[in-house]
Copies of this chain bind each other. A is one copy, B any other.
């Protein structure tokens, strides 16, 4: 492809609207342009990358025996009413009416449509297992689209749905997809982690997320430094380190703490470490309000809290409402004489001689002990793990925390949709069975952004070879130099024979501009054709992101580059 004849509108300046590096670089390298909030046009270079991801996903899904189909983007409301999601789904579901006044939505996901297809077409166990997938433009009306295509409204997604006769079959289908996802992200050349995840409102028994590791990620992932355990912070469990020694514990006594508000202030004022203080928080869900106790240096995990109190979800209660529920300010809450039902995090089980609010403003209890001074509450996992926590699986390693960008998600759905839509399949004995489902998503467009978050430097993008719009860029020093043009064209043709597409910078621009753009575009291999090196019968070759330049003899360049591109280097 010729640079001069292609829309690659690189920008010198950082666009002010972009907050993360991938958004900045996708705009600066001319991969995308915004049309509206969270809505983007993919320009030629960006689309090349998107198609590379798409191809890898398609090849691996096909290899796993999944069947590609293409379901409509526009879905009738009736199916969503049948599953109950027409009411349940929030305003991210873009709803509209057609000219006849019938209700439709722009599908953000396709459980209903695929389940309807299966109930109409698959009647026998002999048709199972089946896994249907599509690669399709989806729309989710995000309230706050941000970070470019990372959290856009219109995006490209691969969604797959498996159907099995029973849980044993679902397990197999699920594992096959986890393996397939591993191959996909490996082929993309990304550092990623598969983590256990909370199943959330979509329901179902088991769920894993796939995260591309990057400092800018919105998610936090805990992983064991010894075994393979990894989980999203939402769900990660850590065995608490032994309780911080309390020293000698005297009797419980009240200390006046007038105007001392935060945990940190109380800790400093009393000279007790945060780890010996108990903080109280109030959450409320459909099951009512609860007072939750955590160690002063720990953070509440709302998802775990919801599980613990038996609600679908809970939210943290505002100070005014705390006052209303308990009669005291949130900072003064404590377990001694609590009026709400109390739950404590596991870490508090063996804590002795701790500090807690006295349920009276301007006063704290010091040297509190369970049972002696107040009943020991029910214990539960309520907190986010922290770095250094023990691994819950191997019991040997300790957890580290990384930031990640979620690019894939697999769920066991069970019979949630197949039951709601009354799918019936005959088993080998002629009995009607409700198949169980799994669903498997990959954010195809998000992978492009995640790859950039993980692979860039000050000069621009540094593409993994597998995702680069082109594996090789030839920079013509002077496009008017006929010999150089002939050499460049012959290199281009030579590489094409190895299936390697080349971007040829044939612009009538200063060499510095071309180099700057090449760095920005991040194409793995750059070959400079022209100038002194060409006179000496060679081409200057450089790997993006590496400082070294090599002079390669003209007749060796194709061999040199094709070998490296083939090896994904």
Binding site for B on A (CB under 8 A): 4-7, 9, 33, 35-36, 39-44, 47, 50, 65, 67-76, 91-92, 94-99, 104, 106, 113, 116-117, 120-122, 126-127, 130, 132, 136-137, 139, 141, 143, 153-154
A-B contact pairs, 28 of them (CB 8 A): A7-B67, A7-B127, A7-B132, A33-B117, A35-B72, A36-B72, A36-B74, A36-B75, A36-B76, A36-B104, A39-B76, A41-B69, A41-B70, A42-B69, A42-B70, A42-B71, A43-B69, A44-B69, A50-B70, A72-B154, A73-B73, A73-B139, A73-B154, A94-B98, A95-B96, A96-B97, A98-B141, A106-B106
Residues of B contacting A42 in the complex (Cβ-Cβ under 8 angstroms) = 69-71
In the complex with contacts A7-B132, A121-B7, A139-B74 CB distance below 8 A: yes
With contact pairs A94-B98, A137-B137, A141-B99 given, residues A44 and B68 touching in the complex (Cβ less than 8 Å): yes
Q: Are B6 and A71 in contact (CB under 8 A)?
A: no
When distances are taken between beta carbons in the complex, the residues of chain B under 8 Å from A137 are 73, 136-137
Q: A73-B73, A96-B97 are in contact. List 8 more A-B contacts (CB 8 A).
A: A7-B121, A7-B130, A35-B72, A35-B113, A36-B75, A72-B154, A74-B106, A74-B154
Which residues on B sit within 8 Å (CB–CB) of A4? 126
| A33 contacts B121, C-beta separation under 8 Å | yes
- Bound: A91/B98 CA distance, A: 9
CA distance A191 to B367 in the complex (A): 92
Q: Is B47 within 8 A of A68, CB to CB?
A: yes
With A and B bound together, what is the CA distance between A33 and B5 in angstroms? Answer: 42
Number of copies: 2
**Contact present for A71 and B35 (CB under 8 Å):** yes
Residue of B nearest to A90 (CB): B99
Contact among B7, B91, B117 for A41, CB-based, below 8 A: B117
Instruction: List the B side residues contacting A97 at CB < 8 Å.
Output: 96
Which B residues are in CB contact (< 8 Å) with A33? 117, 120-121
Complex Cα gap A96–B44 (Å): 29
* A99 with B132: CB separation less than 8 A: no
* Given A65-B5, A67-B6, A94-B96: A153 in contact with B117 (beta carbons within 8 A): no
**In the complex, what distance in Å separates the CA atom of A362 from the CA atom of B130?**
73
Bound form: Cα–Cα A117–B35 in Å: 8
